[in-house]
Amino acid sequence: MFDNLSEKLDKALHVLKGHGQITEINVAETTKEVRRALLDADVNFKIAKEFTNTVKEKALGQNVLTSLQPGQLMVKIVKDELTQLMGGESEGISLAGDPAVILMSGLQGSGKTTFSGKLANFLKSKKTKNPLLVACDVYRPAAIDQLHVVGEQIGVPVYSDKDNKDPVSLAKAGIDYARKNGHNVVIIDTAGRLAVDQQMMTEIANIRDAIKPQETLFVVDSMTGQDAVNTAKAFNEVLDFDGVVLTKLDGDTRGGAALSIKSVVDKPIKFIGTGEKMDAIDVFYPSRMADRILGMGDVVSLVERAQEQFDEEEARKLQKKIAKNKFGFDDFLNQIQQIKKMGSMKDLLGMIPGAGKALKGLDIDDDAFKHIEAIIHSMTPEERSNPSLLNASRKKRIAKGSGREIKEVNQLLKQFDQMSKMMKMMQGGGGKKMMQMMQN
Ligand code: GDP
């Protein structure tokens, strides 16, 4: 995500490294590079100029007031300004009303249907929400089918009626259906066209006026840069939507849309899409995004993802097993499944401070665990629960069965052994000691 932008900003901010103090000259040099980085990211010229002017002013103004090194001061100022540019505070969606109605708008291909599914899935996981998806694209029967596929995938019902060609009455019927069937959130997926056109705009505006949704969201493909911003502007003029959903951030190396949209339409970015799968959705937090852009990672989101997957009951069982020295390869597989649920490897690594830069250019396999899983799957259940059974001939059989080399099997066994020891240490009161070690 935003790799190009991160790299260029990193270079720009390097200008000040080693300088003892901020001067008009080195600030001018840095901000020139920052501006270039923003322009390369497809940020609108005016926004880039205003941004760098503010940064320059703040750097020169704060210089005397702080004990920070010039390089650190500049990073802080740029981070604060990036956060402001993307909206400052995070703004959630309103789910007031029973049912709460969320209307999706956007061009065809922007990721509306996918996002409708992701949002339904996201809300469903909040336990108190029981969403209904409504298919309101009366022009493309395939779009209705697509929403049904998505709904089935996440276990959320979909209301549709291929005989009804009036989107307004369809939307109303969907809301009625939700009321009668106990759905407290309704997500309405509407028709999109390939380009902005008046008829589409009028149609969505008519739906909006008739059903008065709690939220009208505008979905846009972030990879389209300035086009995304222009489309947002056109939709906002007619719809006056409540928030933006930026999709396909996983493929966006530049970040121009994310950086410009808020200041052009003055509407917050509320969610982002970071992949094709149903769990590739995140609430948008401007300051966390600024951290990621500047290569500082996003530890808060990482911890939140881990917490979402954390199952107290499972953790307790695991703890007992470790205490009894019964932690086996099946438990190990289980742990891998939990990590995989947290998201793609690339995405997770991007949240670790500095990791993005360190791993740049490496082709991270999104299924990084597949070899480990293959090896474990080639073990018998007895071997999995009692790895000490694994003698040379068994290892050879496992290597053959999994199509891996014997040295990989050995490596995994060694890692497993180390991990078991470490877990034991954490259990036996060593945890405190280890934490202290890590803090030092
Ligand atoms: P719609 O026409 O606006 O409903 O768009 P779709 O939901 O059909 O999405 C268009 C394409 O974009 C599909 O192939 C989706 O899988 C893909 N897509 C949607 N969101 C994302 C995302 O966040 N990341 C990636 N990589 N692809 C996405």
pLDDT in tens, 95-105: 988 899 999 99
The owner of tokens 């103090």 is: 21
pLDDT class for 398, splitting at 50, 70, 90? very high
Instruction: Using the mean position of ligand 1's atoms as its centre, give its distance from the Cα of residue 220 in Å.
Output: 10
171 is in an annotated binding site: no
Handedness of CA 341, 344, 347, 351 (dihedral sign): positive
Distance between CA atoms of residues 303 and 127, nearest Å: 20
CB 338 within 8 A of CB 309: yes
Q: Is the peptide bond before 99 cis (omega within 30 degrees of 0)?
A: yes
Question: Token pair of 53, please?
Answer: 């002017």
The interface predicted TM-score (ipTM) is 0.98
Question: Which residue in 108, 177, 115 sits closest to 147, CA to CA?
Answer: 115
pLDDT class for 430, splitting at 50, 70, 90? very low
Distance between CA atoms of residues 372 and 346, nearest Å: 18
97 is in an annotated binding site: no
**E strands present in 32-167:** 100-106, 131-136, 158-159
Average predicted confidence (pLDDT) for the chain: 86
Instruction: Using the mean position of ligand 1's atoms as its centre, give its distance from the Cα of residue 109 in Å.
Output: 6
Region 321-326: mean pLDDT is 77
Instruction: Using the mean position of ligand 1's atoms as its centre, give its distance from the Cα of residue 277 in Å.
Output: 9
Q: State if residue 113 touches ligand 1 by the CB under 6 angstroms criterion.
A: yes
Q: State if residue 131 touches ligand 1 by the CB under 6 angstroms criterion.
A: no
Q: Which residue has the higher pLDDT, 78 or 364?
A: 78
Instruction: Using the mean position of ligand 1's atoms as its centre, give its distance from the Cα of residue 2 in Å.
Output: 18
Question: Token pair of 55, please?
Answer: 């940064």
Instruction: Using the mean position of ligand 1's atoms as its centre, give its distance from the Cα of residue 425 in Å.
Output: 46
Position in ligand 1 atom list of the atom nearest CA 118: 20
Rounded percentage of the chain residues whose pLDDT exceeds 90 = 48
71 is in an annotated binding site: no
CB atoms within 10 A of CB 8: 19
User: What is the best residue among 1, 105, 276, 281 to mutate for testing ligand 1's pocket, by most ligand atoms within 8 Å of CB?
Assistant: 276
Q: Is the pLDDT of residue 80 over 80?
A: yes
Q: State if residue 109 touches ligand 1 by the CB under 6 angstroms criterion.
A: yes
Q: Give the contacts of 62 (CB within 8 A, at least 6 positions apart).
A: 73, 77
Please list the helix, strand and coil fractions of the chain in percent, rounded to the nearest 5, in that order.
60, 10, 30
CB atoms within 10 A of CB 439: 6
Q: State if residue 97 touches ligand 1 by the CB under 6 angstroms criterion.
A: no
191 is in an annotated binding site: yes
Q: State if residue 215 touches ligand 1 by the CB under 6 angstroms criterion.
A: no
249 is in an annotated binding site: yes
Ligand 1, atom 12, residue with closest C-alpha? 111
- What's the confidence (pLDDT) of residue 221? 95
Instruction: Using the mean position of ligand 1's atoms as its centre, give its distance from the Cα of residue 110 in Å.
Output: 6
CA 123, distance to chain mean position in Å, is 15
CB 345 within 8 A of CB 363: no
Instruction: Using the mean position of ligand 1's atoms as its centre, give its distance from the Cα of residue 112 in Å.
Output: 7
Q: Is the pLDDT of residue 281 over 70?
A: yes
Instruction: Using the mean position of ligand 1's atoms as its centre, give its distance from the Cα of residue 113 in Å.
Output: 7
Question: Which residue in 164, 238, 243 sits closest to 204, CA to CA?
Answer: 238
208 is in an annotated binding site: no
Domains of the chain in sequence order: 3-85 (1.20.120.140), 100-287 (3.40.50.300), 303-439 (1.10.260.30)
Q: State if residue 277 touches ligand 1 by the CB under 6 angstroms criterion.
A: no
**Hey, is 355 helix, strand or coil?**
helix
Q: Which residue has the higher pLDDT, 335 or 426?
A: 335
**At 151, which helix (H) or strand (E)?**
helix 141-154
Position in ligand 1 atom list of the atom nearest CA 146: 8
Q: State if residue 153 touches ligand 1 by the CB under 6 angstroms criterion.
A: no
pLDDT class for 293, splitting at 50, 70, 90? confident
At residue 110, φ and ψ (nearest 5 deg) are -75, -20
Ligand 1, atom 19, residue with closest C-alpha? 111
What are the tens digits of pLDDT across the range 221-265? 999 988 999 999 999 999 999 999 999 998 888 888 999 999 999
Instruction: Using the mean position of ligand 1's atoms as its centre, give its distance from the Cα of residue 267 in Å.
Output: 22
Question: Token pair of 44, please?
Answer: 């609108």
Question: Token pair of 15, please?
Answer: 């200008």
Query: In one letter, which amino acid is 392?
Result: A
Q: Is the pLDDT of residue 333 over 90?
A: no
247 is in an annotated binding site: yes
192 is in an annotated binding site: yes
